[in-house]
């Protein structure tokens, strides 16, 4: 059986491309196993063999439904469909759609998502989230402020009786 040539077209989160028996490619939306275990109401489904229609169906039907389930009905401003081009949320959404992200193991994806939420959800003095800011507005002063606010461990010097006795010698 001759397989069709591979393409490098980008796929949304949880969408896979698989070769079909008769030739060509089929696209499938797969709910992650962790979501199935947590009782996700969205079901995995075939998306067809037309790339454009499959991507549109995944992005307009399945991913919004999955994100709504995941957030408990609270649509995230950082979801790929809602991200304004040129913002930090948009950068995160573009990365989520990239094959380098989709090929990560689930633990790494969770770690990335925690970072996206931590940085993108940071509340600024004007009341907006950092993720809503345009990339051109993010400068070193803002990055330094964010770093200081998010830095959990601060170095503290503890003096033990051993160090005091050593210092007296």
Give the pLDDT score at 80.
44
DSSP state of 52: H
Model confidence pLDDT, tens digit, residues 62-119: 888 888 888 776 544 444 455 788 889 889 988 888 888 888 888 888 888 888 888 8
Domain residue extents for the chain: 10-75, 77-151
Average pLDDT taken over every residue of the chain? 80
pTM, rounded to two decimals: 0.45
Give backbone dihedrals phi and psi of 155, rounded to 5 degrees, phi first. -75, 130
Residue ranges of the alpha helices (H) in 13-139? 33-37, 51-57, 63-70, 88-97, 99-102, 106-120
Q: What is the pLDDT of residue 79?
A: 46
Tell me, what's the pLDDT at 165? 47
């Amino acid at each position: 059986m001759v397989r069709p040539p591979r393409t490098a077209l980008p796929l949304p989160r949880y969408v896979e491309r698989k070769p079909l028996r008769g030739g060509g490619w089929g696209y499938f939306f797969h709910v992650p196993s962790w979501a199935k275990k947590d009782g996700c109401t969205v079901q995995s489904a075939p998306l067809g063999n037309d790339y454009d229609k499959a991507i549109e169906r995944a992005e307009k039907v399945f991913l919004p439904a999955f994100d709504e389930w995941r957030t408990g009905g609270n649509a995230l401003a950082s979801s790929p469909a809602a991200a304004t081009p040129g913002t930090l949320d948009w950068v995160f959404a573009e990365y989520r759609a990239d094959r380098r992200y989709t090929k990560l193991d689930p633990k790494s994806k969770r770690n990335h998502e925690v970072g996206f939420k931590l940085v993108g959800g940071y509340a600024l003095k004007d009341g907006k989230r950092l993720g809503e800011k345009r990339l051109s507005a993010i400068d070193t002063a803002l990055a330094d402020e964010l770093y200081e606010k998010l830095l959990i461990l601060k170095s503290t010097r503890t003096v033990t009786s051993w160090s005091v006795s050593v210092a007296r010698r």
